[in-house]
Chain A
Amino acid sequence: MDQTTLLSWGQIIARIVQQFLPVWIALIVTFAVSIRYKRKLGLYGKLFDSPVGMIGFALVMFWVYTAIFADMIITMDPIAQFGRVKNPPPGTPLVDVKDGQYAYFLLGADHLARDVFSRVVMGARRVLTIAPAATTFAFIMGVTLGLPAGYFGGKLDTVLSFLANLVLAFPVILLFYLLVTPEIRNTNIPVVLAAVLFIFPVIFLTVLFNSRFFTNPPKRNLYVGITLVIGLWAYLGLAFNKDPLGVWSMDPNLLNVFVSVVFVNSPTVFRIVRGIVMDLKARDYVAAGQTRGESAWYIMLWEILPNARGPLIVDFCLRIGYTTILLGTLGFFGLGVSPESPDWGSTIDDGRKLLSLYLHPAITPALALMSLVLGLNLLADGLREESLKD
């Protein structure tokens, strides 16, 4: 190939910046609005007083907007192959450009001549849909079990803590190798686990509304009814793939990955929630609630939980980062994802085999993953610092 036709690094950067245009606009709007109204936005607004938190927030939102606008940013189809040249370096022009096609591999292409830049951008969408969702489920499960364990103590606490420690003592990587295999899909284990994990949000919301509004039956019936109808509908679709209307469904591969990641994360959340509840249950407002004759679940969900939100929000940010790392690990070992999936872990795994010769296929997703997790960690650090100030 003619060397002179390669783009220079300056041109590559200029073109990448141009591709990300929607992200820049969204970021500027977000920051302008947030800083303008930061005094009215509570903890979120206070984030904009801390430079560390702002940098973290910017990094996270960069990837969030990248995931949202991925279709506008990508230059080529992330799973299609272009040309026969293997591992072309960054800035290589395509051999025969058709009409309406982007003319360059901005960040080179991998061993199957797929565009690295588009794959990384599309990978952001995959990572940022699974990681926050899995973390949310892990949190709901950890909170639903951690609240009573910490509040009631006794036998319930002993049993639940033993189970949590059991999962924590399980080497994560071994669990992945056992749970995320093609063979296990022929058994009913993923479905059973999913059935257990996915019922927790429904229980959580039902108890949440019931404990608050049981004195006002019409309102209670409305909220609990909506929760049960939508929750059980989604539950049937997601866990058993038996949604009568076919709206909710989950690819069995994805379900397997999702369930394992939730399973690994929830015991840690359980322990954090349990610790906070044990600390908070000696407070006066809890005693006041008990004297008023409030139910135990009302005190847990509407008195203790809102007061525990600070550490939980911080841990939520950190945990999304950790989940991203776990998903990357799964991809890195080629577990549970389809081979052409553009998620960052498998892209790194694809690229590492030729690492000493061609860096670009592996280093781009590696830096992407690192910057997202770094952003989440900085954001958590900023939130912690600001929430400690009051």
Chain B
Amino acid sequence: MLKFVARRLGVMVLTALALTFVVFYLTNLPPNLEKLARTEGSVRMTDQAVASWIENNGHGGSVFGRYAQWLGIAPGWVLTDDKGVTRGRCIQNNQDPATAATYCGVLQGEWGFSTVFKKPVLESVLQKLGSTGWLMMWVMIVMVPVSLIMGVLSGMREGSRLDRSLSIVAIATTATPEYVSGVILVAIFASATAGISPILHDWGWISGKTLFLGTATSAMDNITFWNFALPVLTIALYGIGYIARMTRASMTEVMTQQYIRTARLKGVRFRTVVMRHALRNALIAPFTVIMLQFPWLLNGVVITEALFNYKGFGWTLVQAAGNNDIDLLLGCSVVAVLVVLVTQLISDIGYVFLNPRIRLA
């Protein structure tokens, strides 16, 4: 078991290095650096000035060297210009170059400075991650039980009418990406001109113009049912169908096993068979699926936060990418890659733990 975990961890570190390098390479492409030079310096810089700005701000040299500096395994760049002022990656403004650290990369906790938010990257990313954490928590609270119940109910009697109708619902939700379900949900529940809100308003059941709020900006400070239900539902809906179908497949397979038939022939009630004998075995596969949903949820989070204007991690990623904020984009990528890899690891290890049939040397 220990050897298995160690090997998985090794592959994970290798993957993380490869992925962060790809992101570093793509964000530090020459056109991006030129754009950065023009926004940081001046728009009317000559091509020569741009080249020297790039060189003087530590963006010159090989991409591998800069990646190592960014990671914190190579000494940060130090340059002394014509006026005798020494600047460097690790030297803050007005700091004596002699006292500055040699290494300052992601590993040392120096994630750089965001040009959009005018704040250190680590601080802004952590703060936004907190907001997204709330969103994810509610998504999980809604998505996991609903999809498992749907899957178990349709899988326990394959081909029944209940199974057919639940399967159609599951297929329909997987066909509805977040940007479609978000628009439809807003149309039904949060539009002043269509859906159910005007009717409820006419009847005097709601005091405001709409039943739910169409934006989740107010949920940044104060989460209520009315401002948070739609974004949570938007993300959860897309995942529900997929997990439910996986659970159904797993459940139908378990229900054909010998031990289930034995239990039924023994005279155990159907309900008890499902609850005691089938459920535990049927839930192994969905566990992996749920863990592997995290990277996919990231997609949904970005779309939903953009749609409902909720200023979390996904919104930050869009801002960083849209404004050529290289350090912030790199920070977001590190977090995203870590989330994906850690959930993959948990799903692998959890699968081994849950499934007694897998024995590892």
Q: Which residue of A lies closest to B324 (CB)?
A: A183
Q: Contact: B302 with A173, CB < 8 Å?
A: yes
C-alpha gap A366/B19 in the complex (Å) = 33
* B40: min CB distance to chain A, Å: 16
Q: Contact: B183 with A348, CB < 8 Å?
A: yes
C-alpha gap A352/B185 in the complex (Å) = 12
C-alpha gap A325/B184 in the complex (Å) = 16
State whether the Cβ of A213 lies closer than 8 Å to any Cβ in chain B. no
Residues on B with C-beta less than 8 A from A378 are 171
State whether the Cβ of B261 lies closer than 8 Å to any Cβ in chain A. no
With contact pairs A184-B29, A359-B187 given, residues A178 and B180 touching in the complex (Cβ less than 8 Å): no
With contact pairs A171-B298, A171-B336 given, residues A370 and B175 touching in the complex (Cβ less than 8 Å): yes
| Binding stretch for chain B, among A131-139, A161-169, A244-252 | A161-169
Number of interface residues of A (CB under 8 A): 47
Interface string of B180-212 (1 = CB under 8 A from A): 101110110011111000000000000000100
State whether the Cβ of A28 lies closer than 8 Å to any Cβ in chain B. no
Q: Which residue of B lies closest to A179 (CB)?
A: B26
- State which size class the interface on B falls in: 35 or more
* B151: min CB distance to chain A, Å: 15
Q: Mark out the residues of chain A between 360 and 390 whose CB falls within 8 Å of any chain B CB in the assembled complex.
A: 362-363, 366-367, 369-370, 373-374, 376-378, 381
Q: Contact: B183 with A333, CB < 8 Å?
A: no
Q: Contact: A177 with B321, CB < 8 Å?
A: yes
Interface centre among A162, A173, A328, A359 (most CB of B within 10 A): A173
Q: Contact: B299 with A171, CB < 8 Å?
A: yes
C-alpha gap A328/B175 in the complex (Å) = 12
Residues on A with C-beta less than 8 A from B317 are 173-174, 177
Residues on B with C-beta less than 8 A from A172 are 299
Q: Mark out the residues of chain A between 85 and 109 whose CB falls within 8 Å of any chain B CB in the assembled complex.
A: none
State whether the Cβ of A357 lies closer than 8 Å to any Cβ in chain B. yes
* B154: min CB distance to chain A, Å: 13
Q: Which residue of B lies closest to A187 (CB)?
A: B29
C-alpha gap A169/B347 in the complex (Å) = 13
State whether the Cβ of A329 lies closer than 8 Å to any Cβ in chain B. yes
Q: Contact: A169 with B344, CB < 8 Å?
A: yes
State whether the Cβ of B18 lies closer than 8 Å to any Cβ in chain A. yes
Q: Mark out the residues of chain B between 1 and 27 whose CB falls within 8 Å of any chain A CB in the assembled complex.
A: 11, 14-15, 18-19, 22-23, 26-27
Top 10 nearest A-B pairs (CB, nearest first) are A374-B175, A183-B31, A177-B321, A373-B175, A178-B26, A366-B180, A325-B177, A171-B336, A186-B31, A366-B183
Give the interface of B toward A (CB within 8 A): 11, 14-15, 18-19, 22-23, 26-27, 29-32, 35, 167-168, 171-172, 174-177, 179-180, 182-184, 186-187, 190-194, 210, 214, 295, 298-299, 302-303, 306-307, 314, 317-318, 321, 329, 332-333, 336-337, 340-341, 344
What 18 additional pairs, Cβ within 8 angstroms, besides A171-B299, A189-B29?
A: A169-B340, A170-B337, A170-B340, A171-B298, A174-B333, A177-B318, A178-B321, A186-B30, A321-B175, A328-B177, A333-B306, A352-B182, A359-B193, A359-B194, A362-B183, A363-B187, A369-B177, A376-B175
